Amino acid sequence: MNTYRDYVAPLLWVAKELLAYNPFFIYSGREPLLHQTEFVAKALFIKPTRVLLADAIGLGKTVTALRALLTLRRYRDVKRALIAVPSALVEQWVEEARSMGVRLQVIDRESLRQYSRLPELPPGWYVGSMDTLKREEYLEVIRRTKWDAIVVDEAHKLGIPGREPNIRWWGIGDQVIRGSSNAVVLLLSATPHRGKANDYLSRLALLDPTLLEVTNVYGLENVFDRREFYTSTHGVLVFRRTKEDVNRVYERREVFKPCIMASVLIVPNEVESELVKTVAEEIVTKYADEYYRHLINFYNLDIESSKGIVSLLKTVTIKRGLSSPLALVKTFTTMIEKRGRVVELLEKGVPLSLAREVVAEEVARLESELDELLTGDVADHEKELDDKFNEVAGYLSKFLDSSKLSKLSRAVELAKKVLAGEVEDSKLETLKRIIYAVLAGGPEELPEEFKDLPSQKIIIFTEFKDTAYYLYSRLVKWVEETFNDRSAVRVLTSDNKHEVGEIQKWLAEKGRRVLITTDVAGEGLNLQHANVLVNYEITWSPVRLEQRLGRVWRYGQTRVSYVFNLFLACSLEKEVSDNMFAKLYGITVSLGKTELILGDRERGRIFIS
């Protein structure tokens, strides 16, 4: 009996096969997490492997995708792989792949000259910016290559953000992904659903071509927006795991610290109540129907154009009117001052029928652009929301009647009282109390769950640059008076985005830190050094709320994270929150699960200020 031949050699062979082919052992030298291994293992048994990896922010989708590709390469001979990512993530993917022993070749303008002369790209794994790859000269090279695998990171950037599919969807999605029916396809996104069913379904249609055999891309919602359909995709077409899943189901240990979310309901004072009433009842609600009829009867606009203008006016009024007194004054003053410019087309003698067509097209464009800005991914836009809102406000001023102008003037008058310090800003005072608890250590009777709140670092997000500067001007003075520390407060907007690196270092240093930032400026900023986040006003985009949260509450955060969402106790804020909860419900149905970003209506913490 040969012990080595009969016992040892078989065991060594089994060990070798495990090391070579078991998904658990294919990782980048770091500790493999079980949720990543599970996805890799399941991907092997799905043929064709065309799935959406929708794990929550911070769960390591890049590593998971690379591990999946490495495993699939051993089983299915993946010779050519294309990885399309946002431009800011190209180097990150190159470095992550290098740590796993994989060399990614970057597709850029220099390499395009070489590749354009070839019938197809040589075997290899390629990575490129999706905004580069969507261009026709790059698509021409990519289309004629037979891809074995295609990966798209931040896949929510391919879709229907407005009325039409974007160029990325038509180029990378329709032409490359749908054109490679036998390729492995991995779409990665922590925020694959932006609150619009048809937009989300357009991404699923890239994975499952049978969806577009039933209807076209514009009609997906009418056919497939059903709970039964979404349920059938879970664990087959769509994989979604949250931080709670990792802690409780996979690792059974605290990989991610908890996150506590609180809704802070702010009761407005007498002047603020009048201001809110003026905005809500007099401008938005009371005159909506009357104004709608006025547009049709006086300007002879068609029904759809009139609805679009009323919708735009309502959006601008609510968002700017409730953000801060400075934002209200700037936008409403723009609308008032440009009132003298009535419909230019009619003044220039353009025939009424043609003017109506032009106006209808302009309204549709503005409505679509504003909707995309409000609900889409901030990384797709270089301008702050302020710029687009003021453009829309100037356009809408042409259609305002005298009653609307008087209400706008009254709102501006009230807001100026707050700016002048004649009236207290209740929202700002509430924010100060939160900041004080973080910077000063808070009261001794803080509940146990808030023990990590006095961390001395806090991030304040606002949608508007105007509001960011308003908060900075108030807080820098208050912090200096309260803590004798003028260097503790910084503001980051598109105006000083070049200071991101400096602010990153400042945030990491010891000491009190209060950072006020907009989404555009904060894109890509690592905020893990702070564990307290304030949403000064609630956005209409679940994507933005999740992205903000993910910069603080992620792998490596050593303290409990806290998120405070500020609401005014008024009907308009209730409308915003109801709208957000409706979107979150739709997202939960579609994905099967979500991480709380506003707090739970039944279990959430609500504070009255």
Q: What is the pLDDT of residues 330-357, one digit of tens each?
A: 888 887 776 544 456 667 777 767 766 7
Per-residue model confidence (pLDDT) at position 365: 72
pLDDT tens digits, 384-442: 778 777 777 766 666 666 777 788 888 899 999 999 889 999 999 999 999 999 998 75
Where in the chain do CATH 3.40.50.10810 domains reside?
33-250
pLDDT for residue 30 = 57
Q: What is the CA radius of gyration of the chain?
A: 27
Residue 16 has pLDDT above 60, yes or no: no
Proportion of the chain above pLDDT 90, given as a percent:
37
Question: What is the spatial distance between Cα 362 and Cα 427, in angstroms, rounded to a whole number?
Answer: 36
Beta bridge partners of 563: 261, 533
User: Which run of H or E residues covers position 558?
Assistant: none
Is there a contact between 296 and 305 (Cβ–Cβ < 8 Å)? no
Give the residue from 71, 62, 20 showing the smallest Cα distance to 42. 71
CA distances from 491 to 135, 421, 513 (A): 36, 22, 11
For the domain with range 259-265+425-608, which CATH number is right: 3.40.50.2000, 3.30.470.10, 3.40.50.300, 3.20.20.100?
Answer: 3.40.50.300
Q: Which single residue is written with the structure tokens 């979107």?
A: 583
88 pLDDT more than 50: yes
The whole-number average pLDDT for the span 505-515 is 93
Query: What's the pLDDT score for residue 343?
Result: 56
Would the pLDDT of 15 be above 80?
no
What CA–CA distance (Å, rounded) separates 152 from 84?
5
Every domain range in the chain assigned CATH 3.40.50.300: 259-265+425-608
The pLDDT, as a whole number, for residue 603 is: 40
Q: What is the pLDDT of residue 202?
A: 94
d(CA 515, CA 414): 28
Candidate from 159-173, 209-223, 286-300 with smallest mean pLDDT: 286-300
Per-residue H/E/C for 290-315: HHHHHHHHHHCCCHHHHHHHHHHHHH
Residues 6+ apart with CB under 8 A from 146: 80, 120, 180
Say what the pLDDT of residue 601 is. 42
Q: Give the type of residue at 246.
A: V
- Across the range 82-92, mean pLDDT stands at 91
Characterize the bridge pairing of strands 104-106 and 124-129: parallel
92 pLDDT exceeds 60? Answer: yes
Nearest-angstrom CA–CA distance, 33 and 24? 9
Per-residue pLDDT tens over the stretch 546-580? 888 888 888 888 999 999 999 888 877 777 777 77
User: Whole-prediction pTM value?
Assistant: 0.81
pLDDT at res. 31: 64
Q: Sign of the C-alpha dihedral, residues 295, 300, 306, 308?
A: negative
Residues 202, 165 contacting (CB under 8 angstroms): yes
**Rounded-to-integer distance, Cα 209 and Cα 120, Å:** 24
For the ranges 124-128, 311-315, 324-328, the maximum mean pLDDT occurs at 124-128
Q: What is the pLDDT of residue 602?
A: 37
Output phi, psi for 566, to 5 deg: -95, 130
* Residue 228: exposure state from Cβ atoms within 10 A (0-12, 13-18, ≥19): exposed
pLDDT band at 597 (very low <50, low <70, confident <90, very high): low
What local confidence, expressed as pLDDT, does residue 481 receive? 94
Is 563 within 8 Å of 461 (Cβ atoms)?
Answer: no
The predicted model gives 16-35 an average pLDDT of: 59
Pick the more confident residue, 229 or 298.
229
> Tokens standing for 483?
């803590």
Specify the pLDDT at position 342.
44
Class of the 33-250 domain? alpha beta
What's the pLDDT tens digit per position in 55-68?
988 888 999 999 99
pLDDT at 317 over 90: no
Cis peptide, bond prior to residue 122, ω within 30 of zero: no
| Amino acid 176: pLDDT | 95
Non-local (6+) Cβ contacts of 215 within 8 A are 222, 223
Nearest one of 103, 43, 94 to 67, comparing CA atoms: 43
pLDDT at 535 over 90: yes
* C-alpha triplet 262, 263, 266: angle, nearest 5°: 135
Mean pLDDT of the chain: 83
What pLDDT does residue 449 have?
83
Closest to 108 measured CA to CA, from 138, 86, 81:
138
pLDDT score of 384: 74
What's the average model confidence in pLDDT over 455-459? 93
- Cβ-contact 240, 591 below 8 angstroms: yes
Q: Which of 185-199, 277-291, 538-552 has the lowest mean pLDDT?
A: 277-291
Q: How far apart are CA 400 and CA 279, in angstroms?
A: 15
Percent residues over pLDDT 70 in the chain:
80
Quick one: pLDDT at residue 523? 63
Comparing 556 with 286, which gets the higher pLDDT?
Answer: 556
